[in-house]
Structures are given as structure tokens and as C-alpha cells.
Amino acid sequence: MRKLLCTFLVGLSLFSAMVAAAPPEDIRQSGFVYCVNGAATTFNPQLVSGGLVVDTLAAQLYDRLLDVDPYTYRLIPELAASWETLDNGATYRFHLRHNVPFQKTAWFTPGRPMNADDVVFSFQRIFDRKSAWHGVNGGSYPYFDSLQFADSVASVKKLSSDTVEIRLNAPDASFLWHLATHYAPVLSAEYAAQLSKVDRQEQLDRQPVGTGPFKLSEYRTGQYIRLARHTNYWKGMPRMPMVVIDMGAGGTGRLSKLLTGECDVLAYPAASQISVLRDDPRLRLTLRPGMNIAYLAFNTRKAPLDRAEVRQALALAINNERLMESVYYGTAETAASILPRASWAYDNNARVTEYNPQKSREMLKALGVEDLQLTLWVPATSQAWNPSPLKTAELIQADLAQVGVTVKIVPVEGRFQEARLMEMNHDLTLTGWATDSNDPDSFFRPLLSCAAIGSQTNFAHWCDAAFDETLQKALLSQQLASRIEYYGKAQAMLAQSLPVLPLAYSLRLQAYRHDIHGLVLSPFGNASFAGVYRDPRTKP
Amino acid sequence: MIIYTLRRLVLWLVTLFLLTVVGFSLSYFTPHAPLQGASFSDAILFWYQGLMQFDFGVSSINGEPVSLQLLEVFPATLELCILAFVLAMAVGIPFGIAAGVMRNRWQDKAISALALLGFSMPVFWLALLLTLFFSLDLGWLPVSGRVDLLYPMKNITGFALIDAWLSDSPWRHEMLKSVLLHLILPVTALAVAPTTEVVRLLRISTREVMEQNYIKAAATRGLSRLTIIRRHVLHNALPPVVPRLGLQFSTMLTLAMITEVVFSWPGLGRWLVDAIRQQDYAAISAGVMMVGGLVITVNVLADILGALTTPLKHKEWYALR
């Protein structure tokens, strides 16, 4: 017994000695931990409509032909060293950069640098329905599908080893902006050919190979993604050897990990945590206007919401100021248009709908709408444009009760219920949109065009021939001034008939530890981590 | 003995089979289930054939084989449970015996009161309280996870301690330390409830033994207290408790799931919760079968082991055939 006790005590003291040893400083120098709440279902941003893969991983693993400057919002060259716009915007010719190496990974060793074949392969997979790769892993390309690009692209052709030409059926001024989004990465055609040979095509999206600053080194489902730096990166070697994307903890767990230093960067902190983040001297907070909009969509195919007057009357009953205070805690701006204020086509004449329940009641009475009962569909989890959709829905419910409208809230949860939204049974949908592109077209066309009713993004089920025509005309012109004019007209039409009620533009937040430097947060998602480094000398 | 063991094994097989029926229904009758659409006979054949080869289908979230994911998460849960179980024994046995020997004295009352307190504390609350104090206030221990993610630890056995031990990385020492630090809070939180149970069981068992005449005889022979405890009490008080400790292990598995969620411990429980949230039916069905199978197996093993070590139970061997 005594012997046992002795061994136990010795063991205990040994253990405590190990614990008390000085913490290793250097492993922290070799990388940083980026904490997110999300999951990766694929490593190819072409295949998804948003989430972690698009807003964080895409910029690390891949490069695009063009990029958007995070500060000036202009197109800048990336893999395309230069480009030409021909045929009044119907043909685009890209001159590719030379000597851009692909990543060498455990599953692929590149034999040549990036060339026109890779670009043609990447885009044919999306645009060419006859391509052998189009149907691999589902054959759905949500971003480009929502813009009907498979129909509008006539051909993707290699002119020489460093020149690629993309022809459209009609001029489209927004095209370059879409190519600059993270949904349009350049993949390796050589890797694809290697996979075809062994008939493992589905690996292309699971074991990625790109030209970006970091390559995938380890992935544990639901736990973490380890990225290792691409030492031959064409813009120069990234500063940190490793980045770990931690997907392990949600909610307050992530905030605690940031406070203890287990996380170095916290993506999308909750708006309600802002005060904690601001008060802690060890933490830094970045706020950027985001390319997103939260809105309330009226089902315009269902009576009585098919009448614009009824929609206007309901809009008057909603207290937008209160939403700003109790849902966003000051991390958003009231929206007057479906287009974010950061957009170049934002209509400065747009006005936020006033809050006037008295007038709303009178209007509804005059319209003969009484005892109105509506169902409001709302996502159950937080979204990029709305930190707490359910709370927002409850506030709207209370507002509408003031004017005698009964609202029943239907939380939409899980993958299967989302599809039910398109059964068109709902009256109201509280939703939003976030995009990667600075072109106004990426807001109007997916959300409000007739064709988008089929692609599950037009929750208002709104289809107006005159509005569609205005959008089309705006795309035909390469002149910014005339495009702004058309989009101004489109916004005026929306304000008139109000198929959707814009609520808020949410700011993008990112919190990080004081010793992390070089993070760039862009309104269009995360920039690459190539320039991120840790300086332990930075004192809190 | 052989018949007793055989009967336990048959019971084990029958229960396992019933469990697979539950697993199959989850993959066939639920809405959006992976096998939906196939005819009943086809589905059942296909499913059981897969099961024979430890193939539970692929996850509908990311297309990975569920069995691979199971192999990844299962050791994590086992590691947590085993360590907590060992801790519960290491603390519970001496204190339980002490309380039993010192019966009705203040030591006994203090131990019993503490045990009751520990028994009535919900794990969820205790775990949060521990992190709040040791991680956030004092900053001594990490909040969640198994190891600092910056250490490139290879997954060899799935047990973090062993993997860190086997690692040949220059960070081996730091890695081991990091793993140990990450273990302290979850293991402590998980061990509290079983510890109190072990204390309670041993206290009762020891009390019974202490009243036996041979103990009194030993005392009159002038043997010291420690010798009595070592020679007589331990040998007679411990064996009857063994099968009930087996039951403790199954309760612990339930508690482990809650602990895993609080500490983001990448084990079976958290994986199952995630699967339910994402409506991944293949994974739910496999997870349910895995947890159920483990509980049944441990119980049957504890029964057999208990019967082997407790001579008092030997009469059960000759019970009605």
C-alpha cells in the first residue's frame, strides 16, 4: 500500500513538473490559428454558394485571373497579367502570367507551370455542359448558375499557351467582376488529367491543388484544416509556415479560445460579444463595410401581398431603428436599397422607409385588408448578414402585431427544409445576400430577375418584364455612367413596388490577438494570409 | 461457469442484433434516409452486407466513409473515458474504504457529504465552471480541444497521449505537455460523478465487511488497522463492487458526450451531436449502434468478470439452466 502511494505521489510530482515547465514560445512563431464556425464540404469554391470555402480557403489555396483591390475596389491583375475587352464587352482575352508554379502536395507533383490549358479547363468545367468534368461531384455551380452563365458563355478557347479567349453570346459588362470572385479559381489541368487516368475524378475537389500561397496539408472532418505554405508561391514565400483553421468550437467557445490565446483570429464574432472584444487590451477588432444585405422578401405571387400598396403599408409598420439596436448592436447600417452603400451604383436618393404604425393601420384599413395572417420563414442560425435571424423575426412579429397583422414564424433549419422555401407557400421570408463581387448585377439578377425564380434565390418570386429589361440594358454598356443610370432606374422601380424590404447592411467583423499583424479583411471575403506574421514584441 | 458465460454471450449477441435493427430503421424509415427508395429486401440485404464488413455507408455531408470517421472519433472518447475511470478509481477506492472504516466519525461524514455534493452536480455546469475558473480567470489550462493545433501531430492510434509519445517531431516534449494540459479539465469534470459512485459503493461494502466476525477476531489478535485493511477488508470489499463498476462505465459514456460538447473534444459524442444537427442519417445510425454496442459489451464483460472474482456469485453459475 505504501509503495503504491509512493509511486502515485512521484508520478503526480513528475506530472506537475512537466506542467509547470515554461510554455514553448517558438511553435507560435511557426503559424497561427484561425477560428471559424463552419464546415468544409469540398475544397473547390466553384461548387458552393458561400461559406468557409469561399470566404476563407479560396484565397489561400487558389488564385484567380483577376482580383479586386480591397481598398480601391478596382480590378487588378492576378494570374492574368493583362486583359482586353473586345466586341463591346462580348469577348474577353486574357494574357497569362508566366512561371506561376502549382503547389506540390502529397497527392500531386506538378510537371509544368500554370498555362492556358489550366484556365480553359477550369472555366469549361463550369460553362461547358458537354465537358467531361462538368458533372463531376454534382455538376452544380451555384454562383455562376444563379447568373445563368452556362447559357451566356459561347466558348472558352486557348489561343496560345499564354492566351485565353472567352466569348459571350451578348455583351455583359459585369463579366470581369464575376471572374474576380472567389468562385472562379484556376485549377490544374495536369492534375485533372492524372486523376482521369486512374478514374478518381472526385478527388479533384477533395484534395485540392492550386497556385495560391498555402496548400492543404491535413484535414480532419469537423475539427481542423492545416495549411502549409507554398514555398514557390509566385508572389514570394508567405511569411508563416503554417495556418490552422480551427472549426472545432462554436458560440462562446470560440470567444473563450481567443481570450486564452488558443485562437489567434476569430472570424465573424457575434455582434453581442462586441463589448467584450472592445474592452480587452489583448485583442484587436477590424470592422469593414460588407457586400451584403439583410432583407424581408414578400411573396409577390400570393394575395394580398401581390399588391404593392399592401407591401408599402406593411413596410411602414416595421421599426428599423429597433432592429439596429437589439439585433446588430451597432454593427450594421440601415438599408435604403437592396444595393450596399459601398457599391458604385448605389442610388443616393434612396430613402429608408419611415416608421409610422398609425399610417400603416390606416392604409391597411383603406385597402380593405383586415385580420391578415402571414407566415414568416426565417433561417434558424446566424448568417453573414444577420447575427440572430430568429430574434429579428420576433421583433418584426411584434411590430406587425401593432397594426393588427398576425405573423407565424417558421424557423428553417437543416439542409432539407431550405428546399421547401421554393414551394412558394410562405408569405414572408427574412433572408439576405452576401456576394464576393463589386458589380451591382450580382445583387439584382440573382435576387430579383425572372430567371432566378428557378435557381432558388428569388425569394420574392418577383418577375417584372420592365425591370428585367432595365437590368439587361445595364449589362450591355461598358460605360460606367450609363450603367449607373440604369441601376438607378432599377432601384427606383424597386422602391416603387417594394417586392423586398431592405433592412440592414451588416459590417464584417474580425477579432484577433494583439501580436498578429498583416491580416487584410476585404468586403468581398478574406484576402490571402501570405502577409500575416506574428510579432511577440507587440505589447497589448 | 461455462454455461453462465455462454448465456451472457448469447444475451450479448441478441441485444447487438436488436441494436442493428434500430440502426437499419434509422437508415431506411426516416425521412431523407440514405437507403430510401430501395425495396425493403434489397435495402436490408445491402445494409447487413455492408455491416459485416464494418461499412456503414458514406456521410451525406462530405462523402467520407462513416467507418473511417468512427475510427477517428472513437479512440478520443475511449481515451477520455478510460482516464476518467482510472482517476475515479484512484480517488474513489481509498476514500470509499476510509469512509467505511471510519464509520460515523467526522471523516466519514465529510467524505459522504462531499460525495453527495459531487453526485448532485450536473457535468455540464461543472465543466463550464471549471473552464471559467481555470482557463479564463487564471489562464492555466486550455478551454477546449485535445492538443494545441499548431503541433503537427500524426494520427497513429487515435489516442492523443500515445500519438504524442510515438511522435518523432522536435516538438515531442511540448506536444506531450500540451496533450496533458488539455486532458486535465475534461477528465476531472467527467470523473467527478463516477468517483462519488465508487466512494458510495465501497463505503457500503467496507461497512459490511467491517462488521464481520473475522475482522473483530483480527483486531483482537492485535493486528494494526492498516494490516487489517490490507489483508481482509480490501480483499472482501472490492470484488462485489466490480460488476457495478461496469455499470458505471456505461453511465460515464453518457456523461462523456456532454463533456465532449462542452470541451469541443473531438469524440464520438460530439460527432453524433454534429451528425444529428446536420441530419446525416448514415452517421447517426452508425453512432447510435456504436454507443449502444459499447455499453452492452462493457456490461456483459463486467458481469462475467464480476462472477469470476466474487465467490459469492458462484451460485449463479448453477442457477436454473
What are the chain A neighbours of B277 within 8 Å (beta carbons)?
414
If contacts are CB pairs under 8 Å, which of residues 189-228 in chain B contact chain A? 226
Tell me the pLDDT tens digit for each residue of A453-480: 766 678 888 889 999 999 988 888 878 8
pLDDT mean over A306-323: 90
For residues B89 and B313, the model is more confident at: B89
pLDDT (0 to 100) of residue B51: 81
The CA-CA-CA angle for residues A200, A204, A206, to 5°, reads: 100
A120-124, B39-43, B67-71: which has the highest mean pLDDT?
A120-124
- For CA atoms B144, B145, B147, B150, the dihedral sign is negative
Name which of A388, A391, A385, A389 is nearest A506 in CA terms. Answer: A385
Is residue A229 predicted with pLDDT exceeding 70?
yes
Terminal Cα distance for chain A, rounded:
51
**List of residues 6+ apart from B217 with CB closer than 8 A:** none
- A–B: how many Cβ contacts below 8 A? 94
Answer yes or no: are the C-beta atoms of A170 and A90 closer than 8 Å.
yes
Answer yes or no: are the C-beta atoms of A535 and A51 closer than 8 Å.
no
Using the CB atoms, write b or e for B245-257: b if 16+ within 10 Å.
Answer: bbebbbebbebbb
Tell me the pLDDT tens digit for each residue of A241-261: 999 999 876 666 788 888 888
Q: Confidence band (pLDDT; 50, 70, 90) for A302?
A: confident
The DSSP H or E segment spanning B137 is none
Closest-CA distance of chain B to residue A47, Å: 13
Is residue A297 predicted with pLDDT exceeding 70?
yes
B148 to A262: CB separation less than 8 angstroms, yes or no:
yes
Q: Which of A186-200, A216-230, B175-189, B215-229 has the lowest mean pLDDT?
A: B215-229
pLDDT (0 to 100) of residue B26: 81
Is residue B62 predicted with pLDDT exceeding 50?
yes
Q: Confidence band (pLDDT; 50, 70, 90) for A25?
A: low
Name which of B178, B111, B172, B108 is nearest B142 in CA terms. Answer: B178
State the average pLDDT for chain A. Answer: 85
Q: Torsion over CA of A419, A422, A425 and A426, rounded to 10 degrees?
A: 90
Q: Which of A103-117, B257-271, B292-306 has the lowest mean pLDDT?
A: B292-306
Report the chain A residue with the minimal C-alpha distance to residue B147.
A262
Residue with cell string 510579432: A535
pLDDT (0 to 100) of residue A17: 45
If contacts are CB pairs under 8 Å, which of residues 281-310 in chain B contact chain A? none
pLDDT (0 to 100) of residue B217: 86
Tell me the pLDDT tens digit for each residue of A483-535: 899 999 999 999 988 999 999 998 888 899 999 998 888 777 778 899 899 88
Q: Return the biggest CA–CA distance within chain B.
A: 78
Q: Which of A284-293, A372-381, A383-392, B222-231 has the lowest mean pLDDT?
A: B222-231
pLDDT (0 to 100) of residue A22: 42
A2-11, A227-236, B132-141: which has the highest mean pLDDT?
A227-236
Angle between helices B172-210 and B106-120 (to 10 degrees): 120
Name which of B316, B289, B221 is nearest B67 in CA terms. Answer: B289
Name which of B242, B241, B248, B253 is nearest B293 in CA terms. Answer: B253
**List of residues 6+ apart from A38 with CB closer than 8 A:** A51, A52, A247
Q: Confidence band (pLDDT; 50, 70, 90) for B212?
A: confident
Residue B126 CB: number of other CB atoms within 10 A? 18
pLDDT mean over A408-419: 71
State the average pLDDT for chain B. Answer: 84
Name which of A461, A464, A465 is nearest A452 in CA terms. Answer: A461
Is residue A330 predicted with pLDDT exceeding 80?
yes
Report the chain B residue with the minimal C-alpha distance to residue A203.
B63
Answer yes or no: are the C-beta atoms of A453 and A463 closer than 8 Å.
yes
For the record, the C-alpha cell of A31 comes out as: 503559424
Q: Confidence band (pLDDT; 50, 70, 90) for A212?
A: very high
What are the chain A neighbours of B136 within 8 Å (beta carbons)?
256, 259-260
Residue B198 CA to its chain's centroid (Å): 14
Q: How far apart are CA B264 and CA B270, in angstroms?
A: 7
Q: Confidence band (pLDDT; 50, 70, 90) for B275?
A: confident
Strand order in the sheet with A80-86: A80-86, A91-96, A163-168, A153-160
Residue A4 CB: number of other CB atoms within 10 A? 10
Q: Mind giving me the DSSP string for B3-55?
A: HHHHHHHHHHHHHHHHHHHHHHHHHHTSTT-TTTTS-HHHHHHHHHHHHHTT-
Report the chain A residue with the minimal C-alpha distance to residue B138.
A260
B144 to A19: CB separation less than 8 angstroms, yes or no:
no
For the record, the C-alpha cell of A369 comes out as: 385588408
Q: Confidence band (pLDDT; 50, 70, 90) for A21?
A: very low
What are the chain B neighbours of A30 within 8 Å (beta carbons)?
150
According to DSSP, residue B97 is labeled H
Partnered with residue A214 across adjacent β-strands are A229
**List of residues 6+ apart from B24 with CB closer than 8 A:** B43, B44, B47, B48, B285
pLDDT over 70 percentage in chain B: 94
Residue A159 CB: number of other CB atoms within 10 A? 12
pLDDT mean over A61-77: 88
Q: How far apart are CA A408 and CA B109, in angstroms?
A: 56
Q: Which of A335-339, A353-357, B271-275, B301-305 has the lowest mean pLDDT?
A: B301-305
A246 to B149: CB separation less than 8 angstroms, yes or no:
yes
For the record, the C-alpha cell of B235 comes out as: 480483499
Is residue A7 predicted with pLDDT exceeding 60?
no
Interstrand relation of A373-379 and A428-434 (parallel, antiparallel or unpaired): parallel
Name which of A519, A41, A524 is nearest A240 in CA terms. Answer: A519
Q: How far apart are CA A188 and CA A103, in angstroms?
A: 10
Answer yes or no: are the C-beta atoms of A503 and A323 closer than 8 Å.
yes
Is residue A437 predicted with pLDDT exceeding 60?
yes
Q: Confidence band (pLDDT; 50, 70, 90) for A24?
A: very low
Q: Torsion over CA of A57, A61, A66 and A72, rounded to 10 degrees?
A: 50
Residue with cell string 449463479: B316
Residue B50's Cβ-count burial label (10 Å; 0-12, 13-18, 19+) is middle
Name which of A504, A472, A474 is nearest A487 in CA terms. Answer: A474
Reported ipTM: the value is 0.78
B31 to A416: CB separation less than 8 angstroms, yes or no:
yes
Answer yes or no: are the C-beta atoms of A225 and A219 closer than 8 Å.
yes
B176 to A31: CB separation less than 8 angstroms, yes or no:
no
According to DSSP, residue A241 is labeled S
Q: How far apart are CA A353 and CA A498, in angstroms?
A: 10
pTM (2 d.p.): 0.82
Residue type, A44: N
Tell me the pLDDT tens digit for each residue of B45-55: 888 888 887 77
Tell me the pLDDT tens digit for each residue of A144-174: 887 788 888 999 999 999 999 999 998 888 8
What are the chain B neighbours of A41 within 8 Å (beta carbons)?
61-62
Residue with cell string 444563379: A146
pLDDT (0 to 100) of residue B253: 85
pLDDT mean over B214-224: 83
- Cα–Cα distance list, A265 to A243, A276, A511, B83 (Å): 11, 15, 6, 32
A51-55, A393-397, B214-218: which has the highest mean pLDDT?
A393-397
Tell me the pLDDT tens digit for each residue of B154-198: 878 888 888 888 888 788 888 888 899 999 999 999 999 999 988
For the record, the C-alpha cell of A132 comes out as: 467531361
Is residue B266 predicted with pLDDT exceeding 90?
no
pLDDT over 70 percentage in chain A: 92
Is residue A198 predicted with pLDDT exceeding 90?
yes
Answer yes or no: are the C-beta atoms of A506 and A386 closer than 8 Å.
yes
- The minimal CB distance from A260 to the residues B135, B151, B264 is found for B135
What are the chain A neighbours of B229 within 8 Å (beta carbons)?
1
- The minimal CB distance from B62 to the residues A32, A41, A242 is found for A41
Q: Mind giving me the DSSP string for B250-300?
A: HHHHHHHHHHHHHTT--SHHHHHHHHHHTT-HHHHHHHHHHHHHHHHHHHH
Answer yes or no: are the C-beta atoms of A513 and A261 closer than 8 Å.
yes
If contacts are CB pairs under 8 Å, which of residues 235-264 in chain A contact chain B? 242, 244, 246, 248-249, 253, 256-257, 259-260, 262
Terminal Cα distance for chain B, rounded:
12
If contacts are CB pairs under 8 Å, which of residues 42-61 in chain B contact chain A? 59, 61
pLDDT (0 to 100) of residue A36: 86
Tell me the pLDDT tens digit for each residue of B129-145: 998 899 888 888 888 88
Answer yes or no: are the C-beta atoms of A187 and A44 closer than 8 Å.
yes
**List of residues 6+ apart from A205 with CB closer than 8 A:** A42, A43, A44, A47, A136, A137
pLDDT (0 to 100) of residue A410: 87
Name which of A19, A536, A27 is nearest A282 in CA terms. Answer: A536
Is residue A230 predicted with pLDDT exceeding 80?
yes
pLDDT (0 to 100) of residue A250: 64
pLDDT mean over A85-92: 89
A30 to B150: CB separation less than 8 angstroms, yes or no:
yes
The DSSP H or E segment spanning B149 is none
User: A476 touching B, CB under 8 A?
Assistant: no
Strand segments (E) across A279-349: 283-289, 292-298, 332-334
Q: Is B321 helix (H, G, I), strand (E, B) or coil?
A: coil
What are the chain B neighbours of A260 within 8 Å (beta carbons)?
135-136, 139, 142-143
Q: How far apart are CA B261 and CA B128, in angstroms?
A: 11
pLDDT (0 to 100) of residue A418: 59
pLDDT (0 to 100) of residue A20: 43
A220 to B62: CB separation less than 8 angstroms, yes or no:
no
Closest-CA distance of chain B to residue A86, Å: 42
**List of residues 6+ apart from B153 with CB closer than 8 A:** B147, B160, B163, B164, B167, B169, B175
Q: Confidence band (pLDDT; 50, 70, 90) for A207?
A: very high
Report the chain A residue with the minimal C-alpha distance to residue B31.
A416
Is residue A6 predicted with pLDDT exceeding 60?
no
